[in-house]
Structure 1
Amino acid sequence: MKVHRYEDASQFYERVKDYLLSQEALHFLLLGISNVLIYNPKRYGEKLYLTTVETDGNIVAVAMRTPPHRLLLSKIQDFAAVEAIAQDLHLIQSLPGVTAPMNEAKAFAEVWKALTGQSYQLIKRLRTFKLEKLQPIYSAQGNLRIATEADKELLLRWYETFSLETVGGIESYPKRWIEHTLQQSTAYIWQDKIPVSIACRGGLTPNGASINMVYTPPEYRKKGYASACVAALSQTLLDKGYKYCFLFTDLANPTSNHIYQAIGYQPVNDWYDYSFIENDSIDVSA
């Protein structure tokens, strides 16, 4: 079993694409980030960790990290690869946590604890969903439009409140996200005389597109705006020629899970999001 690190994102993608595409919906996040690294290499900065673990020339695991974010793991064929990745990473980086399919995340957290003495805390239970065909739903009043420069202040305000609600903090450089989003025309607003909801087109895979940052301010909720916004954006992406739309949901939010399934999204797999913590006495692993 060998660990291979890659400096060049294009070489990394060429090596891992068949492995990841064998379960495209499961791996849409890793595929999407790979796409960004190739076409917008400055987006994630330096000190990237792009790695395969191979046995007899066959990939059994893929790992990726874009600091300061958590480690991302693929579906793993041989769980001995978990220790191989942990040992390799421990030589060069500290880690804030891991995000991976449920069994892989739990296995890595256990190995990392044994290796470093750090405890781990389950932050989120996530679920991946895939859409191939939209289901008809009641649509709220309004229409979908692409966000423009005139929406800058609105995007900043909504991004900050979305971040506070979902992760409990605000990214260090939200204005960088806004500039990128406006430049790429990936933010879509549901407008009912005034802006009331937002959804963004996220990373791309060879056959699909993901949706993220679905947010409706509290005063506009329970009016069907989020459902209408996600449904309209999903159909827009399908109309552009993508075969699938993908997204993550937080299983602690039953409302969003219901909304997406009503639109036609089908569950694919569960993921766990763990944070690593220094004090072993407060181990709240799950």
Structure 2
Amino acid sequence: MDTDTDTDTEAASATGGWRLTHDLDDFLTRAGAFLRSRPALHTVPLTVTETLRTRGRSVYGDGPPEFGVLERDGAVRAAFFRTPPHGLDLTSLAPGDADVLAARLAASGRRLPGVQAQCDTAAAFAEAWQRHTGTTATLRRRQRLYRLGTLTPPGPVPPGGPRVAVAADRELLVRWHDAFGEDVGQGTVRDSAQWADARIDSGAITFWETPDGTPVAMAGTSPRVAGQVRVAPVYTPPHLRGRGYAGAVTTEVTRAALTAGADEVLLFADLSNPTSNGLYQRIGYRPVADFEEYDFG
């Protein structure tokens, strides 16, 4: 995308209905109602754009964020965002529209590290990107999006209780955020220190502590946008797993989100991890859709 942030330049030359921009406000003006019309399926663009709006455009990386809106017959049909150096995040769209977008981005000389979307859309874009650029697309991860039905706390509850993270926990949060990124195989999407500061400021991380006050697991929540809150991350150090800590802390942050007025509580689980998928379903989360992430190289 051109380094200029003037949206009119590319919007005026939109191809196949796609309008591209670096302007977050313009993107939200055009696509905001569309994203909010299906908040569960659009949870990632909703929460990322809210973070960009409140925390600054460089929160996920130094490059200017990129956005796109597919408009046809007077209505928004799809949207994407990208926060360099990270990959493209697409809402659901038809294979033909994925091909048009891939062709346009490839023709502009862009180098994308990957794409994330619902399975059919991710596969269609990955195939089109390979065809238009000659690069190789490799499926890296499959995730399932869950939405809370009826909260059902797992039992037995492990000894101890919940506590909201505070400034004195910053160093631990940084370490655990880094470890979580390594566990899920994606590194850290945000600077861990900045992430920890933001979560401490908003009270958005809860620990499960043993009776002696030792944190043994954590769970966080995203800001509430369009009535929905997403639980992330959930992390327990490897040597402490299998003791019920993750289930207990996930239950606590879920309950807190409901108490605070969330209409929907969501979370993602890696489909290669049957333990976490089973745990979330026992708590009361129900499948919504599957997503795939491809690396390009």
Q: TM > 0.5 between the two?
A: yes
Query: What stretches of structure 1 of length at least 5 have no aligned partner?
Result: 278-286
Q: Within 5 Å, which residues of 2 pair with 1:62-73?
A: 62-73=79-90
Aligned residues: 276
Q: 2:232 aligns with which of 212, 222, 231?
A: 212
- Do residues 252 (structure 1) and 272 (structure 2) align? yes
Give the aligned partner of residue 169 of structure 2: 151
Q: How does 1:9-88 map to 2 (within 5 A)?
A: 9-42=24-57, 43-44=59-60, 45-76=62-93, 78-88=94-104
Q: Structure 1 residue 169: deviation in Å?
A: 4.1
Alignment of 1:144-223 (within 5 A): 144-167=162-185, 169=187, 173-192=191-210, 193=212, 194-223=214-243
Distance in 2 (CA, whole Å) between partners of 1:86 and 1:64 is: 14
SS at match of 1:37: helix
| CA offsets 1:221-256 (integer angstroms, 9 cap, x no match) | 111110000011000011000111111110000000
Aligned counterparts of 1:234 and 1:171: Cα–Cα separation in 2: 23
Q: Which has the higher contact order (CA 8 A, sep 6+)?
A: 1
**Closer, same or farther in 2 for the Cα pair 1:130/1:170, shift >3 Å?**
closer
In the TM superposition, residue 112 of structure 1 has moved relative to its aligned partner by 0.3
Aligned to 1:272: 292
Three-state SS of the structure 1 residue aligned to 2:92 is coil
> How far apart, CA to CA, are the structure 1 residues paired with 2:247 and 2:79?
34
From 108, 111, 114, the equivalent of 1:97 is 114
Secondary structure of the corresponding residue to residue 268 of structure 2: strand
Q: Deviations over 1:104-135 (max 9, x none)?
A: 00000000001110001111011101114312
Match of 2:22 among 1, 4, 7: 7
| Unmatched tracts of structure 2, length 5 or more | 1-15
The percent identity for this pair of structures is 33
Rounded Cα–Cα distance in structure 2 between residues aligned with 1:101 and 1:157: 31
**What code does the residue aligned with 2:206 have?**
Y
CA RMSD across the alignment: 1.7
CA distance in 2, matches of 1:84, 1:203: 33
With the length of structure 2 as denominator, give the TM-score of the two structures: 0.87
Residue in 1 aligned with 2:3?
Answer: none
Distance in structure 2 (CA, Å) of the matches to 1:16 and 1:169: 29
Alpha-carbon distance in 2 for matches of 1:166, 1:259? 17
For 2:26, give the aligned amino acid: Q
Matched, 1:126 2:146: no
How far did 1:218 drift? Answer: 1.7
CA distance in 2 between counterparts of 1:241 and 1:255 reads: 29
Change beyond 3 A, Cα 1:37–1:169: closer
1:181-233: per-residue Cα shift (whole Å, max 9, x none)?
22222111111131000011124321111111211112211111100000110
Q: Any idea what SS the aligned residue of 1:204 has?
A: coil
Does the aligned pair in 1 maintain the 2:119–2:290 contact within 8 Å? yes
Distance in 1 between the 2:265 and 2:101 partners?
A: 30
Q: Which amino acid aligns with 1:147?
A: A
